[in-house]
Amino acid sequence: MLRGRRTPTSTPSRSSRSASTSSYGEVTGRRQPESIPSEDHIEEHPVSPQSPIHDNLAPVREQVAQTIVLRATREAETVEGSKVGVILTLPYSSGEEFLDTVAAELKRVLLLKQQSYLFILALPTRGISPVLVCSSSEELAERAGILVQSKFLNRVVRHELRFGRWGALIRDLCSTTYDEAALWDAARKAARQPMDPLHPPPGSRSISQILEHARARLQRITPQQAFEEVQDPALHWPVVLVDIRPEAQRREFGSIAGALIVERNVLEWRFDPRCAYRLPIADRYDLRVIIFCQESFTSSLAAASLHDLGLLNATDMIGGYAAWKAAGLPDEIEISSTAPPTDGRISVPIEA
């Protein structure tokens, strides 16, 4: 299929390019296209017992299937050597049979080229829609089918793997933009080769690399510098010292009275100036947030996360609470440079 295009299974028409429907991916006129008659109405007169019954629509289906496959293979993506795509067509009375015709044409075209492939075919409609996964191997089809089933959950009415193809009936397919994107995601991921469990996948980073990158974004300060900042009334921006450790660590190692306790799992919600769940102090982007944990590993990642929210003055305390205690700094402080917002002060608006 052509991405984002739904290809009806009627014969091509020569119409103006300014109209809104499409046939074989070609723009056609706004007039109603001539519909393909169903098999039930091919013969106008009764057929004698001696006369063979011919499927007069078979050549039409094959021609349409050839056109769809030509465009679909031309615009397919290549994932680790396999051609992948999603083909959506307009539903009609012989829909499931037509999907089989398209699948057969895909097999004919791509296996001639000795090309590995995986395509998900569907006739989206309100109600029950048939979906067919066809590929160059049963393993690929089964992998894609499992992913499709997991993405649509209770919308899958039934499914089965037969003759190397995975088929299913799905409720209200493509009723939202999620559905087509989900089918594409299933096709791409199923086509990936099984990775070596002992080697990291491309693009991944170790926690050491993530931590190094986070700290490169910060101007980290020592416990002594943090103590001096929170005591300095001359600063032009509010400063807040934030303890993100869990309660168990605070009980075991102690805490700093006067520091704001915001555990790590809610930090971004409490300090995003646009968030409805922010703290009253967190209504401006020049807020100086000094974060500490027990030994300053989690705090570096947390401070970098606040940078992502736009709080570019956020940083963390080198060595964490352990370094604060080792430096002999007090267990209770008065934060002179912080104050809650005053009435009438301009604040960042909260997003709806």
**Bridge partners of residue 257, in order along the sequence:** 332
Q: State the sign of the Cα–Cα–Cα–Cα dihedral 255, 256, 258, 261.
A: negative
Task: Write down the pLDDT at residue 348.
Answer: 79
Confidence band (pLDDT; 50, 70, 90) for 16? Answer: very low
Q: pLDDT (tens digit, 9 = 90+) per residue, 219-241? A: 999 999 999 999 998 888 899 99
Rg, Å, the chain Cα set: 31
Least-confidence region, from 13-17, 166-170, 314-318, 322-326: 13-17
Task: Write down the pLDDT at residue 219.
Answer: 97
Confidence band (pLDDT; 50, 70, 90) for 214? Answer: very high
Does residue 262 contact residue 243 with C-beta atoms inside 8 Å?
Answer: yes
E strands of the chain, at which residues? 22-23, 26-27, 77-79, 82-88, 117-122, 128-135, 156-162, 165-171, 239-243, 260-261, 288-292, 315-316
State mean pLDDT over 17-42: 37
Q: pLDDT (tens digit, 9 = 90+) per residue, 43-101? A: 444 434 444 455 667 788 788 889 999 999 999 999 999 999 999 987 666 678 888 88
* Cα 292–Cα 294–Cα 300 angle in degrees, nearest 5: 45
Q: pLDDT (tens digit, 9 = 90+) per residue, 254-291? A: 999 999 999 999 999 999 999 999 999 999 999 999 99
State pTM to two decimals.
0.56
- Please name the residues in contact with 4: beta carbons below 8 A apart, sequence gap of 6 or more: 180
Task: Write down the pLDDT at residue 318.
Answer: 98
